């Protein structure tokens, strides 16, 4: 029994209850507010001061932030533009994707702390008096009608229980989505990324040049992801065989440090100075998966709650933003028609499911190509890299990674009168 079990429940009413104030939830909330709907956001964290993982935005994500009028403000909070993605093997750059060759205006990757993006989205939501926030509240129950349709949620936090009644509930509460679990929707885990990731940040000393690329180093030992993270640090993601950490940790921090140095010898001095105990390393549970259903009567799942991606190819935030942009017109039409049934929401879920299947396929190939060990993989890798870089099919794959679905754009034509399209 929770400490609020006997607390009286108060009631809120809105058009849409968005559960989760991450990139997916806040983007959708802002789009719906601009369209004229009343939105209640339920977010379990009390502030933006929480742990984040993803921070690379692709040009497709940048374009949506720009169209929403949030990019300039997010950039002003700080971030690094990155020119290229590279796969480096034994000092040889096997794959070199130059983002400068993509069509303007967004011709780079952006490494930006996720709270800079969220602060900007949230700040814009707060300009609407039709926006209601229940921060520091977790969703604990779904409110349903007699036919199993979802009609709202119960949110618990700060010693109180609130029933939020809504025409539609959007589950945007991440990969362990409580909303999804409360609806009894199963997730299929996809074995596209059979690795664990040790995640660590290394502050760069003053005067040390900051890289301008996202790189995967495959020179020795386990592959390592390296990119600059604002402000002034290197983000390192060291992949290791799934469930292999316990054995490594048993050999001590010096052994792990040596292994990381072997993989990125150029940063060996920083690794030696800054990794002093196992506590300096974070082991991440990284997996890919997708929910078996994305829409029910009165309920739709977006972002990681519907489909979770491995970090490879920096897709998750970008896809979350695109989910919101693609759901926006479908949900607007459904709310205006007073018909928020699963059938109606399928106009979003069905085509989006095909997009996501395609991205997952590409990520699976990426994982195999970049991370596999062994002689065959070593022999095939350069040919695959050259295929990606030099053939039309390779260009299509690059465009898919960089832009996602080109139809995902902000539908400013649906916004209410007097709503600014950009700040």
By CB under 6 A, name the binding residues for ligand FAD: 19-25, 42-45, 53-56, 138-139, 172-174, 178, 197, 199, 284, 286, 303-304, 309, 311, 314-318, 320
> Whole-number minimum distance, CB 384 to ligand FAD, in Å?
22
> Whole-number minimum distance, CB 258 to ligand FAD, in Å?
23
If the CB atoms of residues 42 and 248 are measured against ligand FAD, the closer one turns out to be 42
Closest of 389, 3, 375 to residue 158, by C-alpha: 3
If the CB atoms of residues 139 and 327 are measured against ligand FAD, the closer one turns out to be 139
> Whole-number minimum distance, CB 314 to ligand FAD, in Å?
4
Q: What is the DSSP letter of 269?
A: H
Which strand ranges, in their side-by-side order, compose the sheet holding 288-291?
Answer: 187-190, 288-291, 307-308
Closest of 328, 303, 337, 347 to residue 167, by C-alpha: 337
If the CB atoms of residues 44 and 84 are measured against ligand FAD, the closer one turns out to be 44
> Whole-number minimum distance, CB 324 to ligand FAD, in Å?
9
Pair type for strands 160-171 and 39-43: unpaired
> Whole-number minimum distance, CB 138 to ligand FAD, in Å?
4
If the CB atoms of residues 7 and 391 are measured against ligand FAD, the closer one turns out to be 7
Radius of gyration for the alpha carbons in the chain, expressed in angstroms and rounded: 22
172 neighbors 20 (Cβ within 8 angstroms)? yes
Q: What is the 3-state secondary structure (H, E, C) of 338-355?
A: CCCCHHHHHHHHHHHHHH
Neighbours of 117 (CB within 10 A): 31
Closest of 182, 188, 106 to residue 144, by C-alpha: 182
If the CB atoms of residues 23 and 69 are measured against ligand FAD, the closer one turns out to be 23
If the CB atoms of residues 62 and 167 are measured against ligand FAD, the closer one turns out to be 62
Which regions of 114-158 does DSSP assign to beta strands (E)?
A: 131-135, 138-144, 150-157
> Whole-number minimum distance, CB 284 to ligand FAD, in Å?
5
Give the three-class secondary structure for 307: strand
Question: Given the structure tokens 């040790």, which residue do they identify?
Answer: 198
If the CB atoms of residues 312 and 345 are measured against ligand FAD, the closer one turns out to be 312
> Whole-number minimum distance, CB 244 to ligand FAD, in Å?
17
If the CB atoms of residues 95 and 324 are measured against ligand FAD, the closer one turns out to be 324
> Whole-number minimum distance, CB 300 to ligand FAD, in Å?
13
Residue closest to ligand FAD, measured at CB: 316
Buried b (16+ CB within 10 A) or exposed e, 268-302: eebbeebbeeeebbeeeebbbbbbebbbbbbbbbb
């Amino acid at each position: 029994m929770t400490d609020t079990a006997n607390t009286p429940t108060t009631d809120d009413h809105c058009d849409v209850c968005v559960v989760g104030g991450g990139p997916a939830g806040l983007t959708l909330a802002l789009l719906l507010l601009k369209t004229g709907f009343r939105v209640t956001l339920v977010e379990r964290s009390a502030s933006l001061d929480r742990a984040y993982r993803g921070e690379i935005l692709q040009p497709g994500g940048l374009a949506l932030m720009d169209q929403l009028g949030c990019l300039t403000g997010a950039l002003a909070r700080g971030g690094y533009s990155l020119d290229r993605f590279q796969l480096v093997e034994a000092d040889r750059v096997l794959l070199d994707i130059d983002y400068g060759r993509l069509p303007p205006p967004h011709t780079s990757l952006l490494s930006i702390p996720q709270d800079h993006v969220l602060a900007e989205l949230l700040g814009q939501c707060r300009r609407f008096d039709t926006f209601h926030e229940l921060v520091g509240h977790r969703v604990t129950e779904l409110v349903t009608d007699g036919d199993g349709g979802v009609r709202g949620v119960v949110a618990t936090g700060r010693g109180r229980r609130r029933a939020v009644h809504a025409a539609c509930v959007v589950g945007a509460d991440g990969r362990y989505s409580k909303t999804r679990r409360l609806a009894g929707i199963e997730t299929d885990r996809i074995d596209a990324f059979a690795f664990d990731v040790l995640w660590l940040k290394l502050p760069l000393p003053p005067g040390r040049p900051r890289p301008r690329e996202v790189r995967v180093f495959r020179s020795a030992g386990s592959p390592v992801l390296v990119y600059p993270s604002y402000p002034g640090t290197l983000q390192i993601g060291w992949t290791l065989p799934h469930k292999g950490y316990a054995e490594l940790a048993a050999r001590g921090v010096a052994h792990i440090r040596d292994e990381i140095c072997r993989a990125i010898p150029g940063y060996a001095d920083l690794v030696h100075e800054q990794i002093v105990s196992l506590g300096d390393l974070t082991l991440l549970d990284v997996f890919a998966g997708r929910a078996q259903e994305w829409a029910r009567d009165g309920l739709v799942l977006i972002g990681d709650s519907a489909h979770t991606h491995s970090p490879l190819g920096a897709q998750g935030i970008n896809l979350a933003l695109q989910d919101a942009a693609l759901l926006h017109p479908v949900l607007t039409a459904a709310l205006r028609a007073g018909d928020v049934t699963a059938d109606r929401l399928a106009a979003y879920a069905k085509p989006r499911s095909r997009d996501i299947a395609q991205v997952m396929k590409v990520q699976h190939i990426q994982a195999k190509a970049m991370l596999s060990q062994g002689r065959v993989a070593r022999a095939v890798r350069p040919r695959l890299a050259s295929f990606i870089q030099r053939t039309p099919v390779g260009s299509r794959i690059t465009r898919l990674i960089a832009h996602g679905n080109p139809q995902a754009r902000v539908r400013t034509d649906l916004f209410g009168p007097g709503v600014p399209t950009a700040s």
